[in-house]
């Protein structure tokens, strides 16, 4: 079975109760859809992969279990092996599955960046991502205490890999962050980031 957005979201709802984690997965899906458009590939599939990539984190919160045990659930639900491989590739250190295709590099490049953007949105008085400018994200980026769980050097590294594989090295870090931010701004209501 090829993964669909509905199937992915149903898996998330079944396995994830935390609203922040659900928002994270939706945000990665939104960013993936935007990059699928830029790269001329299957938007719905890329979005579904973004949605499902961390669906087992709440039930398997230890790296090594996640995403390996999640992969078993996907297989048991009839998800195709290519999708399972993509999910496993977003944590190569624990799975041994190397990134090899554009979708793999996009997934990892979008993963932590969305967390930074959600955090930066939620500290705004309006809590509205649509009002956020790249300049304010740059300030937050420099403050290592802000969204401290976002490993800046890892983001730089995976963005550079994504740029090399998919954009001939022409996508820089701040263009990437802006692309993800714009994608999230366009779907702010769906992400619960349209203000209070």
**Collapsing DSSP states into helix, strand and coil, what is residue 66?**
strand
pLDDT at 63: 82
Q: Concatenated DSSP letters for 119-181?
A: HHHHTSSS-BGGG--HHHHHHHHH-TTTTTTS-HHHHHHHHHHHHHHHHTT---HHHHHHHHH
Instruction: Tell me the pLDDT tens digit for each residue of 20-63.
Output: 999 999 999 999 999 999 999 999 999 999 999 999 999 998 88
Q: Where are the domains of the chain?
A: 5-191
For 101, phi then psi, to 5°, come to: -120, 160
Reduce the DSSP state of residue 67 to 3 states and report it. coil
Model pTM?
0.96
The per-residue pLDDT for 2 is 87
SS (H, E, C) 184-196: HHHCHHHHCCECC
In order, the DSSP letters of 100-124 are: -SHHHHHHHHHHHHHHHHHHHHHTS
Q: In which band, very low, low, confident or very high, does the pLDDT at 1 lie, cut at 50, 70 and 90? A: confident
Q: Give exposure, 151-168, as e/b (b: 16+ Cβ within 10 Å).
A: eeeebeebbbebbebbbe
Summary mean pLDDT of the chain: 96
User: 3-class DSSP state for residue 63?
Assistant: strand
């Amino acid at each position: 079975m090829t993964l669909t957005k509905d199937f992915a979201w149903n898996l998330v709802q079944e396995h994830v109760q935390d609203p922040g984690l659900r928002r994270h997965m939706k945000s990665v899906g939104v960013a993936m859809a935007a990059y699928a458009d830029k790269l001329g590939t299957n938007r719905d599939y890329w979005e579904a992969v973004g949605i499902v990539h961390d669906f087992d984190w709440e039930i398997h919160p230890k790296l090594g279990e996640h995403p390996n045990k999640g992969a078993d659930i996907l297989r048991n639900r009839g998800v195709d092996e290519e999708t399972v491989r993509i999910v496993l590739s977003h944590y190569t250190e624990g799975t041994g599955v190397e990134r090899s295709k554009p979708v793999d590099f996009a997934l990892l490049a979008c993963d932590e960046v969305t967390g930074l953007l959600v955090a930066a949105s939620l500290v705004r008085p309006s809590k509205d991502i649509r009002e956020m400018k790249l300049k304010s994200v740059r300030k937050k980026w420099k403050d290592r205490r802000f969204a401290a769980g976002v490993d800046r050097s890892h983001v730089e590294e995976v963005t550079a890999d994504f740029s090399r594989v998919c954009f001939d090295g022409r996508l820089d870090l701040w263009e990437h962050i802006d692309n993800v931010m714009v994608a999230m701004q366009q779907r702010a209501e769906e992400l619960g980031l349209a203000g209070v």
